[in-house]
A and B are shown apart, each in its own frame.
Chain A
Amino acid sequence: VLTQSPATLSLSPGERAALSCRASQSVSRYLAWYQQKPGQAPRLVIYDATNRATGIPARFSGSGSGTDFTLTISSLEPEDFAVYYCLQRTKWPLTFGGGTKVGIK
């Protein structure tokens, strides 16, 4: 089970966002983060805990291993306001966290 916190984050553009994903058992480094905007498909942001996907700006960074992971957005841009999901691929079934909505304050 993956637990994301907080469920909602209200921040202003330019602020720093830190999103948490906690696993009930170790998933090693095999955790990814996805961004989803309304009406759109999810977009891969970070894979294997720390690797930015192709085309993802450097303001996005991932950290953690084992059971505790963090997605950090160093300075929020208007296009970053979205829902973020974590996904583990260590064992079947693949499981997603419940999501964190990053909203505009």
Chain B
Amino acid sequence: EVQLVESGGGLVQPGGSLRLSCAASGFTFSTYNMNWVRQAPGKGLEWISFIDTGSGGIYYADSVKGRFAISRDNAKNSLYLQMNSLRDDDTAVYFCARSSTSIGVDYWGQGTLVTVSS
């Protein structure tokens, strides 16, 4: 069974930093691309970042470019999101999601809540 478990969320002050992790199991992590998607409270879904299997292809939404950094460790079956210079409007549930070239984004974790507030 595919499992994606996010961690690292919490309360952080504006301008602060946070690192999210996503632990993957139930599939061969190194053969799948990965994404981060967020959802502000009561709002829709927003894709924010993608990383390919070998970390050679990385993309960001304009809203986080230059502030967030995606990375992965295939030996640890883990995905990360380093978030710097956090703003109030970064408050959201952050989901990690698996994707493949054949299907696209298929499985999602349950998400971790990040609250940016003073």
Contact = CB atoms under 8 A, between A and B. Distances in A.
Contact of A30 (B45, B104, B107): B104
Interface residues of B, number: 21
A42 B103 contact: no
23 contacts: A30-B104, A32-B104, A34-B45, A40-B110, A41-B109, A41-B111, A43-B108, A44-B103, A44-B105, A44-B107, A47-B106, A87-B45, A87-B47, A87-B104, A89-B99, A89-B105, A93-B59, A94-B47, A94-B50, A96-B45, A96-B47, A98-B44, A99-B44
A28 interface: no
Interface of A: 30, 32, 34, 36, 40-44, 47-48, 51, 53, 85, 87, 89, 92-99
Contacts of A43: 108
B80 interface: no
